[in-house]
Structure 1
Amino acid sequence: MFSIEQLQVFITTVETGSFSAAARRLNKAQSVVSQHIINLELDCDATLFDRSGRYPTLTKAGKNLLPHAQALILQHQRLKNSVSGLKQGAPSELKIALDEGIPFKKIANITHELQLEFPYITLEFLSASSLDIIDMLKDKNPLTGIIFSELTIPSYLDYECVGSIKFDLYVAKSHPLASQICKNIDTLRLHRQLIIRSRNTHSSSFQIKISPNLCYADNYFLLLELALQGNGWCLLPKHIADESVESGQLVKLPIEFKEMGWQANVDVLQHQQHSHLDVFKTLRGLLRNIF
């Protein structure tokens, strides 16, 4: 019968496109990778790769096996994470990391309830971009991330949507765009765009690059300040922009397509190693629908 290691080699070969590339990623000799694939084909009584070309390609049997292999590997990883969590037990410290664009007041309101149920847990609050929080969770920290939804979430994280926050396009009152109605998106390409990206230079999936002239920041308050100084236009959470709009320093971008902003989902992320623990379950419950 096939093994977890054989399935991992199979999946890695598909992802990397060749046996040699899979060997490099897995830090194994190419002969070992090739033998695992041969053994898997023998166990399945089917040819999984067409080897006639320069690079191996999946046969029909390989394509049929792939989703089942991926599902099994994910479940195996979840099992390992759960076992590790059982050994650790309840943490003595719980970190809550949230994107700077998410109002902290809403989070602070629930901490009293959490500490009533778990009085001996020390809470630590962190602030970072959504993508940086995802990176922080790689280290299996006892951490709950509260982020704006991303299209790609690592398979070792559990997540759920707990609400949404309104975003709109804004520009300083003094900026040339504030005195004209943009007929279409091409007008925006003529002016500098202010955009969020993580500390490792990755951009959020909903921070779409429209203009070729860009200026980056890693949080929305820096983005707001750049906009107020007339450096360009940007997408901001409405609650962050409201005070500057009310004071007349910032305006919602006048544009013929009036609803270019959108509701961004807010997700709660937890590593599989911790998500089944009572304190993490309770925190998820408290966070549901507070936005």
Structure 2
Amino acid sequence: MINSELLKSFITAADMGSFSAAARQLGRQQSTISSNIAKLEDDLNVVLFDRKGKYPQVTEAGLALYDSAKLALDSAERFENSAALISAGSPVSLTIAFDEDLPLTPFKDWLQHIHKQYPIMQLKLLRKASIQIFELVKNNQVDLALTPSLESNSSFYEFTAVGHICYMFACSKQHPFRHKRQISNDDLATSTQVVASSMLESQLVQTVAMSSHRWYCEGYDTLLAALQVNIGWAFIAVDQSAPLPEGIVTFKPDFSATHHSAQYDIIWPKNKVLSEIECQLRDQLATVVANLSRH
């Protein structure tokens, strides 16, 4: 197996145009770079540089091997970095579940951070109704989950309370409520309401479902699509740090004098000992939700 230091010396010298420049770039002595390249040439039985002139020139054989050398070095470095992460306790795979009634936009930067910080980890993202998430956690099929708080403590999961997420009344810009100054309970009751289907299995359905004319939609994206084509009005989670989704406006009925929000928790299976990295991810996710709560 070819030493990655030899490949790095060859690639850097080819890129910089001289052994001395490569030495400065890598923080090595010029003699070390020269020795590394000579050793690589011996191992390959190929001349990589023509040393007749003032500066070494990459030979045709060197040019032909350059791309392969970069691929080999990249692979070796990924291998070493992956081994270091695993040795440090990084999970090889992780399953994270989000309440399906939440928008994912506020969490995109966090997901990108996970990809950059833990490139070898296979991440499985789920969007499920909270009752389904609780069942998956109970069966140890989810490592971390963001869900609405239960009214009582559960015997099958651990949790951290992470903050409140704002919910608002919303409709499309074409809906009659858009230009109506006063919206009564009767207005809500006689206009089609778009309701999250997760409410069907929740005790909150009697509180949230205010109209006798309802469409039930599974998940935030489906509910949002129904609003955008002016099916009706809805009570949805809102990311107050970002603009409203295209074509959507919020409104406040006459009876609603306060802001509405729901408490959310991060949960994980009972008696599961979180790794250091899982604790970091949990705390980072908690920070995202806490920031949403402050807006």
Structural mapping, 1:68-147, within 5 Å: 92-100=92-100, 101-102=102-103, 103-112=106-115, 115=118, 121-147=121-147
Shift of 1:96: 0.9
Q: 1:204-215 maps to which residues of 2 (within 5 A)? A: 205=204, 208-215=208-215
Cα distance in 2, alignment partners of residues 192 and 136 from structure 1 = 33
Structure 2 gaps of 5+ residues are: 1-88, 290-295
Distance 1:127 1:216 in 2: 17
Structure with larger Rg: 2
> Are the equivalent residues in 1 in contact too, given 2:107–2:288 (CA < 8 A)?
no
Shift of 1:138: 2.4
Q: Deviations over 1:49-96 (max 9, x none)?
A: xxxxxxxxxxxxxxxxxxxxxxxxxxxxxxxxxxxxxxxx99642111
Q: Which residue of 2 aligns with 1:289?
A: 287
Q: Offset at 1:283? A: 2.5
Separation in 2, partners of 1:275, 1:211: 45
**Contact 1:96/1:125 (CA < 8 Å) preserved in 2?**
yes
Does the CA contact (< 8 Å) of 2:195 and 2:235 recur in 1? yes
Contact 2:171 2:177 in 1 (8 A): yes
Gaps of 5+ in 1: 1-88
User: 1:114 and 1:151 mapped to 2: Cα distance?
Assistant: 35
CA offsets 1:112-162 (integer angstroms, 9 cap, x no match): 5863xxx76432222223332222212112521112334356321111122
State the match for 1:242 in structure 2. 243
Query: Aligned partners of 1:189, 1:159: CA distance in 2, in Å?
Result: 37
Equivalent residue runs for 1:141-220 within 5 Å: 141-151=141-151, 154-198=154-198, 201-203=200-202, 205=204, 208-220=208-220
Structure 2: how far apart are the matches of 1:98 and 1:231?
Answer: 26
Give the secondary-structure state (helix, strand or coil) at the position aligned to 1:242.
coil
Summarize the Cα distance change of 1:219–1:142 in structure 2 as closer, same or farther, 3 Å threshold.
Answer: closer
Is the partner of 2:154 in helix, strand or coil? coil
Counterpart Cα distance in 1 of 2:142 and 2:252: 44
Q: What one-letter code is carried by the residue in structure 2 that aligns with 1:178?
A: R
CA RMSD of aligned residues (A): 3.2
Q: Distance in 2 between matches of 1:109 and 1:91?
A: 17
Query: Per the alignment, do residues 148 and 107 of structure 1 end up closer, same or farther by CA in structure 2, a change over 3 Å counting?
Result: farther
Match of 2:232 in 1: 232
Question: 1:177 offset after TM fit, Å?
Answer: 2.5
Instruction: Say if 1:158 and 1:285 are closer, same or farther in 2 by CA, change over 3 A.
Output: same
Distance 1:238 1:186 in 2: 24
1:159/1:250 Cα in 2 relative to 1: closer, same or farther (>3 Å)?
same
Which one-letter code corresponds to 1:282 in the other structure? Answer: Q
> 1:239–1:204: structure 2 CA closer, same or farther, 3 Å change rule?
farther
Question: How far apart, CA to CA, are the structure 1 residues paired with 2:117 and 2:130?
Answer: 23
Match of 1:263 among 222, 237, 261: 261
**1:236 is paired with a residue of what secondary structure?**
strand
Cα shift readout 1:162-190 (whole Å, capped 9, x = no counterpart): 23322210112222222323353332111
CA distance change for structure 1 residues 110 and 123 in 2, over 3 Å: closer, same or farther?
A: same
User: Aligned letter for 2:202?
Assistant: S
TM-score (norm 2): 0.56
* Distance of 2:203 and 2:222 partners within structure 1: 16
Structure 1 stretches of 4+ with a deviation exceeding 4 A read 257-261
Q: Which amino acid in 1 is paired with 2:283?
A: G
Q: Distance in 2 between matches of 1:204 and 1:264?
A: 14
Q: Secondary structure at the match of 2:190?
A: coil
